[in-house]
Amino acid sequence: MQPAHQKREFSIPDHDVVVAGAGFAGLYLLHRLRELGFSTRVLETADDVGGTWYWNRYPGARCDIQTIDYCYSFDPELETEWQWSERYATQPEILRYLQFVADKHDLRRDIEFSTRIEAAVWNDGTSLWTLRTDRGQKITCRYYVMATGCLSMPKTPDIAGHDRFLGEAYFTSHWPHQGVDFSGKRVAVIGTGSSGVQSIPLIAEQAAELTVFQRTPCYCIPAHNGPVPAHRMTELENDRAAYREAARQSLFGVPLAPMEVGALQVSAEEREAHYEDIWKAGELLGIAGAYADIITNATSNETLCEFVRDKIREIVNDPEVAETLCPKDFYIATKRPCLDTNYYETYNLPHVRLVDLRKHPIETITETGIDTTNASYTFDAIVFATGFDAMTGALVGVDITGSNGLTLREKWSNGPETYLGLMTTGFPNLFTITGPGSPSVLSNMTVSIEQHVEWVSNCLDDLRKNNFEFIEPTRTAEAGWVQHVNDYGAITLLPQTNSWYTGANVPGKPRVFLPYIGGVGPYRGICDEVVERGYFGFVLEGPGKQSCNDGVIRTVQPDVAMVLDMIEALQWPRFETLSVADARAFAIETLTGRPPGPDVGECNDGTLPGAAGELKYRLYRPVSPGPHPIVVYFHGGGWLLGSYDTDDPFCRDLCVQSEAIIVSVDYRHAPEARFPAAPEDAFTAVQWVAKNAASLGGVPGQLAVSGWSAGANLAAVVCQMARDADGPAICGQLLVTPVTDCDFTRESYTNNGEGYFLTKALMEWFWDHYADTTDRENPQASPLRADKLSGLPPALVVTCEFDPLRDEGIAYFEALQAAGVKADHLPCRGHIHTSLTLVDIVLSSADARGAMGRALGGFFSDQTAV
């Protein structure tokens, strides 16, 4: 928590709130804040309302979310007073709508047009923001809200000679109000993002010649504009409130049911038919939501990429042009796809040509046209559709100085840091509507704007009611949120693509995945939870008072949270409440339909002699030619559940990652065979594998052990037994979230004993079935309790942050190190006991699995067999 400001003064400002921008966000903010009785002033650079819809007047400019969704929902009257003429309304119609809203609610009287905020300075002495405008005004306010839009700062042209051209030059982002007539002209368009795709067909209708300069092709699907589809209109009209609420709780801000299956879980025919439906539906969000895994699984994604490429090849007559228009180096929906009207068809027109800048980049713009590396082109007009300094450009474009003298531009020099995309530390009382770190551009903007406007205005109201006049996120909360935003991005394909989502379109901009991809409904839930928990993660101050409930609002990895939510939704019974037989049956049931894990070269089942009868095993062989080192693996399941094949996807993954043979062996289970049956079997199995290494395709002497949970307990125990028995030689132990002790009092049991699937109660149940209290302290049950840990093979101990077993895993690692064993520790932040084995489900554990595979490889290459 930050120190309280000792003598914070709260001077009286000119206005309670100043809002920058009179687009969708600024207008609604003004209305809301006025309703709540805050004196509010909106400052707007343009000479009228509209924001992005004021500036972007290029031919073909339309929304790409259906207009019945891309509109306000706060005013029930407005819903029926305004009727959209088209499914995707044009820019003039959307602008008229915003003007209508401004008139209806008499908003203009509190908006100062043709006024740009140039600088804003926080004064810690008065607890006020002082704003300086380009008209020389100095305005003070208690709260300053940037409603400046995510795509409002055009990218500075980064093409040599861009100011040399003596003909007409236009920017789609600042189109002349009187329009442009291209009739009879030779026109160039640079850029094939949404703005280029929308304008190119219409410019082609007028121009004598049109040359499109394309650096990166985009994925477009046809908009099929026209009337709003009847079924959607009916849905809306049947129950407007329910429709709007469904949008608020949805993933993308439009009430579309999410797909629950992955693209590869259906047949190729079914998939193709589904993609045809998406193509016919003409809805942008249909692409990102085509299948549950379209933005997380590269192979699934590629099926849709290829479908769209085939469509391009069908539409465009010239195969070479078609191929140039096919995106090949990024996954679909990892940057915003485009909705088009006759875009690809335009390239069949005789006066339209496409220049592939990947083959022949622009060298310079000249007085008369454009020179690429292999040709000189002459034009009457050049249209720059080259995009925006998105999400942060408009925010750092104002010279904003916070409480510690740092500017926002300086603070964000390595990428934006925000709490919830709403506020940033060091800049008290400054709010950003749809700021970086919020769903914003990954959603129907109007829904996200309304949510932020309502959150901010309710917050100001709460502050006032409670006699607070100061709010600022804590560093802990902000760092935690930034981490969460990154964690979410990392389980998708989006950060891998060069796009404006990552800042990659602007030279020199730090590469950071800017929006929050957790979905608007879940995000709304988080923002509400922050409020319910007393503005969790914020410092609040008022005359003579301060309050702070500090912490990180989301700590569990996002995909782990999804697994936990699913378990809760399915109301899985708690294992410890079942009979052992029912628990075993249920454990098997939970495996149904799980992803199979990666392919291996070969997978065989066999039997080997255990301490008291035969044991089954499954052998996984790498694809590469052998012989290979061997890892004997012991499955998890609390010594009661599971078998040699229940960790199948994990074993496959270990095999692929380590390039080693994995032999997953069974062992006798409690309660039928209590301690020490399991370690006896485990040791006998290792002895047998060591002896038969060559016939299994292994390299004799290159033997490691591994296991997960209770299996990791056995792996650790076997290493001690092998040391004490002078063999077999084991060159490494990979212990994944091991049970190493029978003590339930460690902090991780206290903190993680409930709510993270493996509970304290379940561990007690396992131990009760496995070993008598007197046996539990035996090192063959609790390897941490061994008198001697020296002389053991090198180890990698993997622990998970939200695992009750975390601390005993750490204790074992530390004890090994203290005993001189070469030991490493891999702590997995935000993970639970089961995270690592959920291959292709918990994607965020993939890096850790890679590290485990490398560690196994390292054991063998070190050749330090003990």
> Which residues in this chain contact ligand NAP in the complex, by CB under 6 A?
62-64, 151, 158-159, 190-196, 198, 215-216, 336, 357, 362, 385-388, 441, 500, 505
Q: Which amino acid is at 367?
A: E
For residues 715 and 634, is the Cβ–Cβ distance under 8 A? yes
| Residue nearer to ligand NAP on the CB measure, 386 or 658 | 386
| Residue nearer to ligand NAP on the CB measure, 500 or 644 | 500
Nearest approach, Cβ of 751 to ligand NAP (angstroms)? 42
Distance between CA atoms of 630 and 349, rounded to whole angstroms? 63
Nearest approach, Cβ of 93 to ligand NAP (angstroms)? 13
Category of 827 on φ-ψ map: left (φ > 0), alpha (ψ -120 to 50) or beta: beta
Nearest approach, Cβ of 31 to ligand NAP (angstroms)? 24
Give the residue at shortest CB distance from ligand NAP.
Answer: 193
| Residue nearer to ligand NAP on the CB measure, 215 or 224 | 215
Nearest approach, Cβ of 290 to ligand NAP (angstroms)? 18
Nearest approach, Cβ of 54 to ligand NAP (angstroms)? 14
Count of C-beta atoms within a 10 Å radius of residue 292: 16
Distance between CA atoms of 610 and 3, rounded to whole angstroms? 64
- Give phi and psi for 420, each to the nearest 5: 65, 10
The closest alpha carbon to 84, from 67, 99, 70, 98, belongs to: 67
| Residue nearer to ligand NAP on the CB measure, 502 or 799 | 502
| Residue nearer to ligand NAP on the CB measure, 354 or 704 | 354
Nearest approach, Cβ of 224 to ligand NAP (angstroms)? 14
| Residue nearer to ligand NAP on the CB measure, 64 or 356 | 64
Strands (E), 635-732: 661-665, 698-708
Nearest approach, Cβ of 699 to ligand NAP (angstroms)? 49
For 88-140, give the DSSP string: S-BHHHHHHHHHHHHHHTT-GGGEE-S--EEEEEEETTTTEEEEEETTS-EEE
Nearest approach, Cβ of 158 to ligand NAP (angstroms)? 5
Q: Which residues pair with 615 in a beta bridge?
A: 608
Distance between CA atoms of 389 and 747, rounded to whole angstroms? 47
In the numeric block, which tokens belong to residue 420? Answer: 């919830």
Interstrand relation of 795-802 and 823-832 (parallel, antiparallel or unpaired): parallel
In the numeric block, which tokens belong to residue 32? Answer: 């809301």
Nearest approach, Cβ of 510 to ligand NAP (angstroms)? 17
CB burial of 260-284 (b: ≥16 within 10 Å; e: otherwise) equals eebbeeeeeeebeebbeebbeebbb
Nearest approach, Cβ of 339 to ligand NAP (angstroms)? 6
Q: How many CA atoms lie within 13 A of 698 on its CB side?
A: 24
Task: Calculate helix-pair angle for 230-238, 240-249, nearest 10 degrees.
Answer: 100
The closest alpha carbon to 702, from 647, 632, 651, 640, belongs to: 632
Nearest approach, Cβ of 389 to ligand NAP (angstroms)? 10
Q: Which amino acid is at 665?
A: V
In this structure, is the dihedral angle defined by the CA atoms of residues 301, 305, 310 and 311, taken in order, positive or negative? Answer: positive
Interstrand relation of 399-401 and 186-190 (parallel, antiparallel or unpaired): unpaired
Count of C-beta atoms within a 10 Å radius of residue 125: 10
Nearest approach, Cβ of 59 to ligand NAP (angstroms)? 12
| Residue nearer to ligand NAP on the CB measure, 140 or 502 | 502
Nearest approach, Cβ of 64 to ligand NAP (angstroms)? 3
| Residue nearer to ligand NAP on the CB measure, 33 or 285 | 285
In the numeric block, which tokens belong to residue 175? Answer: 């189109």
| Residue nearer to ligand NAP on the CB measure, 337 or 794 | 337
- Give phi and psi for 831, each to the nearest 5: -105, 165
CB burial of 92-122 (b: ≥16 within 10 Å; e: otherwise) equals ebbbebbbebbeebebbebbbeebebeebbb
The closest alpha carbon to 444, from 277, 227, 255, belongs to: 255
| Residue nearer to ligand NAP on the CB measure, 357 or 562 | 357
Strands (E), 419-483: 430-432, 470-473
Nearest approach, Cβ of 179 to ligand NAP (angstroms)? 17
| Residue nearer to ligand NAP on the CB measure, 152 or 752 | 152
Q: Which amino acid is at 107?
A: L
Distance between CA atoms of 248 and 253, rounded to whole angstroms? 6
For residues 801 and 828, is the Cβ–Cβ distance under 8 A? yes
Nearest approach, Cβ of 519 to ligand NAP (angstroms)? 18
Residue with tokens 């928590």: 1
Question: Quick check: bond before 439 cis, omega within 30?
Answer: no
Nearest approach, Cβ of 194 to ligand NAP (angstroms)? 3
For residues 59 and 202, is the Cβ–Cβ distance under 8 A? yes
Distance between CA atoms of 654 and 528, rounded to whole angstroms? 41
| Residue nearer to ligand NAP on the CB measure, 327 or 830 | 327
Q: How many CA atoms lie within 13 A of 692 on its CB side?
A: 16
Nearest approach, Cβ of 450 to ligand NAP (angstroms)? 18
| Residue nearer to ligand NAP on the CB measure, 447 or 660 | 447
The closest alpha carbon to 425, from 443, 439, 441, 411, belongs to: 411
Task: Calculate helix-pair angle for 268-281, 298-315, nearest 10 degrees.
Answer: 60
Q: Which amino acid is at 715?
A: A
Nearest approach, Cβ of 88 to ligand NAP (angstroms)? 8
